[in-house]
């Protein structure tokens, strides 16, 4: 049985090994499918050697570092495959940064990062899987990270 059931793409990105059930959250933080006119395919609960996983394929688009960091907060086991002319030219695991800057909004309304002259939000990684993060300024831990990604 082939591991990847969906058809190969010519150019673009395959996000593999997404935590099962989290593909739609990955799409949402990448603002897909609205942010592209290319084909986006989603496979959920795909069987793999290590249990189930979700897969997202985005044609004609490569992700920047900020987008990859967002994915790492939602699916810390994900791998990013860059495809050019049907070949995987780059493959790497997402890596949670020790500090998450400007990506997540603090849930504390009185936090300095939410003030009228806001400083950029800054979070410290508390644990990796599942990801837990704590605000650098007010020390509040953020639940529902996916809902708070900017």
- Binding status of residue 30 toward Zn ion by CB under 5 A: no
Looking at 42, 75, 80, 111, which residue binds Zn ion (CB under 5 A)?
111
Torsion of CA 46, 51, 54, 59, to 10 degrees: -70
- Binding status of residue 124 toward Zn ion by CB under 5 A: no
- Binding status of residue 18 toward Zn ion by CB under 5 A: no
- Binding status of residue 135 toward Zn ion by CB under 5 A: yes
CB 121 within 8 A of CB 101: yes
Q: Can you count the helices (H) and strands (E) in the chain?
A: 3, 9
Q: Which span (27-35, 76-84, 106-114, 124-132) binds Zn ion, by CB under 5 A?
A: 106-114
- Binding status of residue 103 toward Zn ion by CB under 5 A: no
Q: How far is the CB of 118 from Zn ion (least distance, A)?
A: 11
Q: Which helix (H) or strand (E) holds 27?
A: helix 23-29
Distance CA 33, CA 113 (A): 30
Q: How far is the CB of 126 from Zn ion (least distance, A)?
A: 14
Q: How far is the CB of 144 from Zn ion (least distance, A)?
A: 15
Q: How far is the CB of 134 from Zn ion (least distance, A)?
A: 9
- Binding status of residue 106 toward Zn ion by CB under 5 A: yes
Distance CA 69, CA 81 (A): 15
Q: Which span (8-16, 71-79, 125-133, 134-142) binds Zn ion, by CB under 5 A?
A: 134-142
Looking at 108, 124, 125, 146, which residue binds Zn ion (CB under 5 A)?
108
Q: List own/partner pairs for 46-51 with CB under 8 A and 24 or more apart.
A: 46/3, 46/5, 47/1, 48/3, 48/17, 49/3, 50/17, 51/20
């Amino acid at each position: 049985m082939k591991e990847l059931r969906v058809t190969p793409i010519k150019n673009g990105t395959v996000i593999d090994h997404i935590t099962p059930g989290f593909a739609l959250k990955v799409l949402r933080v990448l603002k897909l499918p609205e942010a592209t006119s290319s084909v986006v395919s989603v496979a959920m609960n795909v069987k793999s050697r290590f249990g189930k996983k979700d897969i997202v394929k985005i044609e004609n688009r490569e992700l920047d570092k900020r987008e990859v960091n967002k994915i790492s907060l939602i699916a810390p086991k994900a791998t990013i495959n860059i495809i050019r002319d049907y070949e995987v030219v780059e493959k790497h695991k997402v890596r949670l940064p020790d500090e998450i800057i400007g990506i997540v909004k603090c849930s504390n309304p009185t936090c300095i990062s939410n003030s009228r002259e806001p400083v950029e939000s800054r979070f410290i990684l508390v644990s990796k899987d599942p990801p837990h993060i704590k605000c650098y300024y007010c020390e509040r831990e953020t639940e529902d990270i996916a809902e708070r990604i900017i």
